[in-house]
Structure 1
Amino acid sequence: MSALFTPLKVGSTTIPHRIGMAALTRNRSTGTVPNEIMLKYYVQRVQGGAGLIVSEGILISRQGTEWLQAPGIWDKAQIEGWKKITDAVHGAGGTIYAQVLGRLSHPDAPEQIAAGEPVYAPSAISARGGKFRFLAGEPGYVTPTEIVDPTVFIAQFKQAAINAKEAGFDGVELHAANGYLVQQFLDFNSNMRTDKWGGSPENRARFAIEILKALIEVWGPNVAMKLSPAGGYNDMGMPLQDIIDTFGYLLREANKLNLAYVTLMKYSAFLDPEYDGKKRATQHDVIETFTPFLTKVPVFANAGVTPAEAEELVGSGKVAGVFFGMNWINHPDVVRRIKAGKQLDNPLDWMTLYGAEGVDPALGYVDYKEATY
């Protein structure tokens, strides 16, 4: 595993190895405010070897809040909560980026009601799939309200970046994957606008590019982006040539922006649910297809990567690094295990993945065991 354990410059920071911890939704905040058990969770992973951590998805506004106990970064209490976590991560020797996102939601979600605004999207088209498990009957998505002025949301992303800096993060990662707001603009199934924000690949990529530029105004080189060109989650998915035209244009433009890194998610069946009896995504080799567009930006692979595959990808120069996701949930010591040749063999408790009302939040969160070294 020699290739994995070499330093890498990411933005203005040098991380000690090529294994990162991807963003993982865990729903353990107090309302929308980060808390002490989240601090323990992140510090455990630094102690387990994580050199670069990407936070769970952090909401840029109350409007669009999809799940209960998902953290935000739009008010002072949230900033202060994250500051305690980033200070602890730094004290343990780690680096942490804030993943910022605008999300899907339901008008009956408590935070959405509190926001007093409708659910927004590029076009008034309802995504299929997605069950709101905390609402009676587990309803699916409703038809959203079309965004009138996308620059309002770009300003919200910029303010989130300002707040993330105040909270002590080392950088920000734009979540432009998995059918959330940024990818909704990229995909012509969810974006049928006829103004400058829709239609051509260049127009559909405009929202993502303008957000990146706004984030860079705050963070300079410490801005990253996550993409899922082969993802079918939240009703995404275009024919292959349209995917290449759209994401290729976006990446060519991103290549000019001196980003810290771009994460490319490989095809994952887990993130490609069936609609009407068939999968939504167009399967293809994301790494082979899109890394040629990024000649100046480090590329990280994500989604179902094994340790052996990670070594091959990094050792061959196909990518600069890898992000592990699910393995970090049930193995707080992923990096230490890989370096020592230990198995990633803790069983994952799916029942505690997102917590549950009335259940100790520590269960399935900070109680997984490290290996014996």
Structure 2
Amino acid sequence: MSSLFNPLQLGSTTISNRIGMSALTRNRSSGTVPNELMKEYYDQRAAGEAGLIISEGTLITRQGTEWQHAPGIWNDAQIAGWKKITDSVHALGSKMYCQLWHLGRLNHPEAPEQIASGEPVYAPSAIAARGGKFRYLPGTVTYTTPTPVPDPTILIAQYKQAAINAKKAGFDGVELQCANGYLPQQFLDSGSNKRTDKWGGSVENRARFVLETLKALIEVWGPNVAMKVAPATGNNDVGMPLQETIETFSYLFREADKLGLAYVTLMRYSELYDPERDGKRHAPRHDVLATYRPLLAHTNIFLNIQVTPELAEEVRGGYGRGKPLDNALDTKTLYGGSGVDLTVGYTDYKEAVY
């Protein structure tokens, strides 16, 4: 596995190896402010010699998410909380990118943070996603029909400000969360984007939001900008037919490859998002590495989802999933919750046995 332990240049930063920790929402912040428990969690991962750590999805503005305790990066308290974490991660020898996160139509207008924002739930078009559970809101609450954003540049400005804040917080770069049916993918997907202006319709128009957001982030970070993309895992009710999917993402990658990004994370197909599993839309199954790698000739690629060390070595990728821990994963404690010990299932896992 020697190549996985070779240094790699990402933008203006060199990481010590090609093993990365992907973004993992764990719902442990104090409200939306990163805390000491989160610092301990990231310290453990940095001490495990991950060359690059991607923060959990970090909200760029007040949003009514399904996760009450997801961290943000829109105010000074959040910046200070993240700065303690990045300083500690750096001291342990790892680098850290901030994953910038806007949920778009997956927010809810009755959530406290959305009410506090004073804004509606924005998305490309007035099309609700099917599914969704807001367990902390009374009643059976699912996704709402969003408000079409009148001018998408107001959302791009929020991403840019978040990138400025991430620099203040000591991160080494930023990753645009463009997967899992969140806001950028909602613009890309013809099923969630029915706009008739320059932000919708053709492949070029639907890709405009992502590309213009990346350019705004580059204005702040230069080459230390990345994105995470999921052509074959249409989570949260997105997904186009195979040919349209390939045409859309091929155009996106050809244009993104011209921007000098630090890397692109490609999420592989997973049975979790199989089209036969439920009635929601899903992206079609295809080999994302074989399909899109030639289009990213000047950009580092990280492969994600069920990537074993052996597969990572074979394709010279990162994000090896590794061997299982020697204790069982308890999904009931994975995301915390009220009245439970938040360290359980978070910072108390035993060391993996290799």
Q: 1:52 — aligned with what?
A: 52
Q: 1:150 — aligned with what?
A: 152
- Aligned 1:7-46 pairs, distance under 5 A: 7-46=7-46
In structure 2, relative to structure 1, the CA distance for the partners of 1:355 and 1:271 (3 Å cut) is farther
| Aligned residues with identical type, % of pairs | 67
Deviation, 1:136, is 2.9
- 2:68 equivalent to 1:72: no
- 2:256 equivalent to 1:254: yes
Aligned counterpart in structure 2 of residue 322 of structure 1, from 310, 318, 322: 318
Distance 2:166 2:327 in 1: 33
Partner of 1:46: helix, strand, or coil?
helix
In structure 2, relative to structure 1, the CA distance for the partners of 1:170 and 1:116 (3 Å cut) is same
In structure 2, relative to structure 1, the CA distance for the partners of 1:140 and 1:157 (3 Å cut) is same
Does the Cα contact within 8 Å between 2:227 and 2:264 map onto a contact in 1?
Answer: yes
- Aligned 1:50-199 pairs, distance under 5 A: 50-103=50-103, 104-199=106-201
Does the Cα contact within 8 Å between 2:9 and 2:15 map onto a contact in 1?
Answer: yes
Deviation, 1:370, is 1.0
One-letter amino acid matched to 2:39:
L
Deviation, 1:270, is 2.0
Does the Cα contact within 8 Å between 2:49 and 2:93 map onto a contact in 1?
Answer: no
Offset from partner CA, 1:66-118 (integer Å, 9 cap, x none)? 42011000000000010011011111111000000111211121211222221
Distance 1:110 1:354 in 2: 19
- Unmatched runs of 5 consecutive residues or more in structure 2: none
Does the Cα contact within 8 Å between 1:74 and 1:163 map onto a contact in 2?
Answer: yes
Give the RMSD, CA atoms, in angstroms.
Answer: 1.7
One-letter amino acid matched to 1:280:
H
Question: Which structure is richer in relative contact order (CA contacts within 8 A, separation 6 or more)?
Answer: 1
Deviation, 1:138, is 4.2
- Aligned 1:206-245 pairs, distance under 5 A: 206-245=208-247
- Between 1:132-141 and 1:44-53, the stretch displaced more is 132-141
One-letter amino acid matched to 1:37:
L
Distance 1:257 1:19 in 2: 24
- Unmatched runs of 5 consecutive residues or more in structure 1: 315-320, 328-337
Distance 2:54 2:96 in 1: 6
Offset from partner CA, 1:279-308 (integer Å, 9 cap, x none)? 622101111101110010001100111222
- Between 1:130-139 and 1:175-184, the stretch displaced more is 130-139
One-letter amino acid matched to 1:292:
P
- Between 1:162-171 and 1:275-284, the stretch displaced more is 275-284
Deviation, 1:271, is 3.9
Count of aligned residue pairs for this structure pair: 352
Offset from partner CA, 1:222-277 (integer Å, 9 cap, x none)? 00010000122111110111111111111111100110000000011224576754
Does the Cα contact within 8 Å between 1:59 and 1:65 map onto a contact in 2?
Answer: no
Partner of 1:192: helix, strand, or coil?
coil
Q: 2:341 — aligned with what?
A: 360
Distance 1:343 1:245 in 2: 37
In structure 2, relative to structure 1, the CA distance for the partners of 1:274 and 1:137 (3 Å cut) is farther
TM-score for the superposition, normalised by structure 2? 0.95
Aligned counterpart in structure 2 of residue 347 of structure 1, from 323, 328, 341: 328
One-letter amino acid matched to 1:12:
S
Does the Cα contact within 8 Å between 1:239 and 1:282 map onto a contact in 2?
Answer: yes
In structure 2, relative to structure 1, the CA distance for the partners of 1:274 and 1:117 (3 Å cut) is farther
Distance 2:276 2:343 in 1: 33
Distance 2:352 2:197 in 1: 55
One-letter amino acid matched to 2:186:
Q
Q: 1:286 — aligned with what?
A: 288
Distance 1:360 1:77 in 2: 24
Offset from partner CA, 1:34-76 (integer Å, 9 cap, x none)? 0000000000001111110000000010035442011000000
Does the Cα contact within 8 Å between 1:178 and 1:234 map onto a contact in 2?
Answer: yes
Deviation, 1:313, is 1.6
Partner of 1:236: helix, strand, or coil?
coil
